[in-house]
Amino acid sequence: MPRELDETWQMLDDFAEVARLAHMQDDHKQALAALCELAMKVVEGDHASITTVNRGKFAPVASTSDLPNQVDGIQYTSGEGPCLDAAQIADGVRINDLATDTRWPTFGHKTSSELGMHSMVAAVRPVSEDVVSAVNVYAARVDAFTEEHETLLSIFASTAAGTLRVAHHDDRAKHLERALHTSRRIGVALGILMNSRRVSLEQAWDLLSKASQDQNIKLSVLAAQVLETGSLEPPAGD
């Protein structure tokens, strides 16, 4: 009994550390990979992965080996499987024997016969309005997972979804920052043209747009040129 208690406390400590990394670390992929590894150990599976699903199209995020990617390939080719139906699965799914499961018979048969996996448990959580994430664990033995395993995996799924939301917002923030930076450069370039050409804002925009089309270069690149040289004309020698 003391050994089991020690293992439980160790699992909680490990999970707390991974959760901390997942929400504080800049490298979200590394945090999700660590989360994936711990989920496999806690749920006592042989392989694990985290995937995102957007309107039936899913993409791998992290995995403990290449096998989950092969499982995804079977889902693609067979046109069936839990990831393809993830949006309709409220919390997750547990498959005791992939070889005989009737919900996704082709997927189950191929996964068991070709890859040697006979059990699967997955927990699904929303990431955004259109995207859900799933933490999937596979095992070679039949009846590998229990309701307790499903409960444990749901905790990992919630943490994974939260991490993916953070990563998504970080990406949006970076894109917005780049867009604002580009917009500021274009705004300054328009101001330079208005002053040097003695034209209105609308006329300056027309000049910038036309030069961009005539020279076949992006507005942002042309704006940077105006900031550097004060001119819409390409540098001599170009």
Q: Could you report the per-residue pLDDT of 11-69, keeping only the tens digit for each?
A: 555 555 555 555 444 556 777 888 888 889 888 999 999 988 887 778 888 999 999 99
| Pair (187, 208) in one structural domain | yes
What's the pTM value of the predicted model, to 2 decimals?
0.65
| Pair (159, 182) in one structural domain | no
| Pair (88, 56) in one structural domain | yes
**Residue 234 domain-assigned?**
no
Indicate the range of 80-84, 86-90, 111-115 predicted with least confidence: 86-90
- The better pLDDT of the pair 44, 204 is held by 44
Domain that holds residue 8: 2-171
Closest to 212 in 3D by CA, of 193, 195, 184, 198: 193
Beta partners for residue 139, in sequence order = 119
Say yes or no to pLDDT of 168 above 80.
no
CA distance 140 to 138: 7
| Pair (119, 194) in one structural domain | no
Closest to 48 in 3D by CA, of 174, 135, 118: 135
CATH at residue 188: 1.10.10.10
Task: Supply the DSSP symbol for 238.
Answer: -
Say yes or no to pLDDT of 208 above 70.
yes
| Pair (161, 204) in one structural domain | no
| Pair (90, 207) in one structural domain | no
- The better pLDDT of the pair 87, 225 is held by 225
Give residue 224's pLDDT: 85
